[in-house]
Each structure stands twice: as C-alpha cells, then as structure tokens.
Amino acid sequence: MWRAVQRGYVAHDDAIFIADGLRHGFTLGVDVTKMHGHRRFSNYKSALDAAASVAKAVAKRVKAGKAGNRH
C-alpha cells in the first residue's frame, strides 16, 4: 500500500485511514458510544506482538490461494 502511495496511485490520507482501520478496526461510520450492550473485539495480544510474523503468514496464504471465500 505504501508503495502505491509513493507512486501516486493511492492518496496518503486514504492509506492512513485504511492502515488505522486494519490496525484498530473500522467503525463503518457508527458512533459506538451510542450503542448499548455491544461487544467490542480486539486483535489478540499475541497477534499484535508478532505483527510482522502474522503479516508474513497471511501473505503466504494469499499467495498460495488459501485465503478468501469460504463456502
């Protein structure tokens, strides 16, 4: 994504928004403070601590065609 920003294919602000959403979750425009009885899920601490390894593993699955649609 950052290479696409460097080459002018993606706006920097859009990349920041996506990076933040991937890291902290997307709100989809919903004000979660107004929701009652909701559950909020966070990434596992182990996944956050090993972000580089997780990214490498995901990339490997994508390259092998093992990520995507499940039926």
Give the 3-state secondary structure of residue 9: coil
Residue 44 lies in a domain: yes
Residue 71 lies in a domain: no
CA distance 16 to 11: 9
pTM: 0.43
The pLDDT of residue 40 is 74
The pLDDT of residue 56 is 92
- pLDDT of residue 69 exceeding 90, the answer is no
Q: Which residues of 14-34 are buried (b: 16+ CB within 10 A; e: fewer)?
A: ebeeeeeeeeeeeeeeeeeee
Segments forming the whole domain that contains residue 51? 2-63
Residue 27 lies in a domain: yes
The pLDDT of residue 33 is 81
Residue 39 lies in a domain: yes
Please list the helix, strand and coil fractions of the chain in percent, rounded to the nearest 5, in that order.
Answer: 55, 0, 45
Domain count, the chain: 1
